[in-house]
Amino acid sequence: MAAKPYPSAQYFAPDFVVSAGCVLFRRREAPEQGLEICILRSRTKDKPDDWILPKGRKDCGEDVAAAAVRETFEETGYKCALVPLRMATRAPFPGLNAGPDVVNVVDGIREPFSVVVRELAMGKGVKIVWWFVARATTRDRMVGTQEAWEAYDTEWVVADEAAERLTFQSDRDIVNKALELVKKDGNEEAI
């Protein structure tokens, strides 16, 4: 008897959007006061006053991690870099693709810590969003980095309070998981 296949869904290029974003951290002015997270307030007509995380579509030929850093910079105005984390992952070690699919805890990786798959309106496919942890590499915000159609205000919020401000549960879950990762195993030192 043949094994039953695992449930799956298949999409071709016109039926999915690949996006990437970051939970963007920085140390507060007085470092002993902890961390802040950058969130965005939408000023668009269709979503006024929604509080969200920075993310956007991957360009053709662009690496997903590069898209996360670029979109975060464009939407927030803050240059950033991915944070090397100690975290559990199912990604195999380089050169060791053979073997069982297992979870390993790996030090210093700049991999996505979450993926969100969301159905698009009216059966138009799915949006796949890869999430990374990043840190601001400067305290100075550049103006004019948003696309003409984007209208976001940038606000830094005390890290432990950021999730409460976000409009969507998925974004709150993303922030809570990013905080959990950053606060354990010495990861906070990389911010």
Spans of all domains in the chain: 16-190
Q: Please compute the mean of the pLDDT values over residues 147-170 and round it to a whole number.
A: 95
Residues 6+ apart with CB under 8 A from 77: 141, 142, 143, 145, 146, 154
Phi, psi of 146 (to 5 degrees): -80, 150
pLDDT value, residue 124: 87
- Read off the pLDDT of residues 26-75 as tens digits, 9 standing for 90 and up: 999 887 889 999 999 999 878 788 999 999 999 999 999 999 999 999 99
Class at the top of the CATH hierarchy for domain 16-190: alpha beta
Q: What is the mean pLDDT of residues 174-185?
A: 95
Mean predicted lDDT score pLDDT of the chain: 93
pLDDT of residue 25: 98
List the structure tokens of 83: 């944070």
The pTM for the full model equals: 0.92
Q: For position 98, what pLDDT does the model report?
A: 63
CB 39 within 8 A of CB 157: yes
